Amino acid sequence: AQRVTQPEKLLSVFKGAPVELKCNYSYSGSPELFWYVQYSRQRLQLLLRHISRESIKGFTADLNKGETSFHLKKPFAQEEDSAMYYCALSGRTNAGKSTFGDGTTLTVKP
């Protein structure tokens, strides 16, 4: 069975500090990993997916198959990064059939 674990429900950092949101997964096969973000009063939206290898809003995530992790990182957090972040996993052929973690609420303090 596939599973996504986000061990931190809440994460708080100061502006300018590095931030890392953890995501661990279990999946038999080759997974597709995603990070979604939901800002206050906004819709859930895609932040990045691992096959794109993009940096979005300064965030990056590296798939570590050995440790089955897909942690989200940003070197210098900004107040506007405060949001709920969800890690999700799917098979390679159906991105919408995703298993989501329970989310981490990130608060960036001034």
Partner 1 sequence: EAGVAQSPRYKIIEKRQSVAFWCNPISGHATLYWYQQILGQGPKLLIQFQNNGVVDDSQLPKDRFSAERLKGVDSTLKIQPAKLEDSAVYLCASSPEGLAAPVFGPGTRLTVL
Residues within the interface to partner 1 (CB under 8 A): 4, 34, 43-46, 49, 86, 88, 93-98, 100-103
CB of 30 to partner 1, least distance (A): 14
3-class DSSP state for residue 69?
strand
The smaller minimum CB distance to partner 1, of residues 78 and 97, is found at: 97
CB of 27 to partner 1, least distance (A): 15
3-class DSSP state for residue 26?
strand
Q: Residue 105 to residues 3, 20, 77: CA-CA distances in angstroms?
A: 19, 12, 14
The smaller minimum CB distance to partner 1, of residues 14 and 39, is found at: 39
The bridge status of strand 3-5 relative to strand 24-26 is antiparallel
